[in-house]
Structure 1
């Protein structure tokens, strides 16, 4: 099978082939005509712009005549020359809120502070042996927090739970939990403990 290049192949012509015209070097191209239409459009635009400028030439003087008579300099009384560095007079205050706020008393209704009904406790681990619980307590102590170990008897035996708290506010418990998370202790969770 032979390879054919279909991209460079010229299309087949139907009918008679057109003769190729060759231009001789001695023949010069036809000279271009002068763009008469472009010249006429340009002249019309320039004339229109000139008329526009001529029509607005005296419009400022016409406005002054319509507003009223022009006062000549001879009729104006001479005034004192003002110092350019002088400050303008102090403006008159039209607001009175400053005086009102100085003498105003505001009554605020402050609700009574109620003690929280729940305490929060955070448990950080539950271990089978006392030594593992002591190790966790030591890691927590290195973070500057105090924890307790409680022994709980379960169905599968004794468990040693490491917990922090009790906390009156959840915010404080969350703050300590974030401190422990930064230290790599991620197993802590909050519990509600009724008073």
Structure 2
């Protein structure tokens, strides 16, 4: 429907129109009918109120059966003596000193970390420069194997594997991955 181009409806006269004379309006019919009282709801509410009042009265009657409150003097006279502690470990722990025997770590062979192995020396030197930018010093060593000449980029030696792991984590933060830690063997 086109609301913009529609024609306005003609105004109705203030009097009743001929079509509405014989029919009672819905509003007037509802006002003339008496409202029905919901007797079931009223009976249910009264029963619940009676049960609530009965419960309150039964609880109130139990308050008379409580014993009388003793005075402060009677309360202190009736307290039992303080029990003795069954355990003595609390005092013993306060005065003891713990001695721990820590065996010295056996240092294994020194460790080295290899970060790459290349056929071209220029590739090895490029990786060595990236490692230098991460703040670590590396070496390029050539090794002759069954497959020919290889250029290995190594770091170390490290006394412990933990020291090598610490530097490998530095390299990983600099996005240099693939470094392996081995026992020192440059033969």
TM superposition score normalised by structure 2: 0.56
Quote the offset at 1:152 in angstroms.
Answer: 1.6
- What RMSD in Å do the two structures reach over aligned CA positions? 4.0
TM-fit CA distance, 1:194: 6.1
Give the Cα separation in 1 of the matches to 2:119 and 2:185: 27
For residues 175 and 59 of structure 2, the distance between their equivalents in structure 1, rounded to whole angstroms, comes to 83
User: For 2:92, which of 93, 97, 100 is the aligned residue?
Assistant: 100
- Alpha-carbon distance, 1:130 to partner: 4.4
Q: 1:180 Cα shift?
A: 1.9
Select 2:34's aligned residue among 21, 31, 36: 31
Are 2:34 and 1:43 aligned?
no
Q: Which runs of 5+ in 2 are unaligned?
A: 1-21, 74-81
- Cα 1:50/1:128, change in 2 over 3 Å: closer
C-alpha distance in 1 between matches for 2:34 and 2:102: 98
Residue 141 (structure 1) aligned to one of 132, 142, 145: 132
Q: 2:183 maps to what in 1?
A: 192
CA distance in structure 1 between the partners assigned to 2:23 and 2:113 by the alignment = 102
- Structure 1: 5+ residue stretches without partners: 1-22, 79-90
Question: CA 1:43 to 1:119, structure 2 compared with 1: closer, same or farther past 3 Å?
Answer: same
Q: How many angstroms does 1:163 deviate by?
A: 0.8
Which residue is 1:114 aligned to? 106
Distance 2:185 2:168 in 1: 20
Higher fraction of helix = 2
SS of the counterpart of 1:31? coil
Structure 1 SS opposite 2:135: coil
TM-score (structure 1 length as normaliser) = 0.55
Cα displacement string for residues 119-147 of structure 1 (whole angstroms, at most 9, x for unaligned residues)? 43221233445454444333323333222
Count of residue pairs brought into register by the alignment? 152
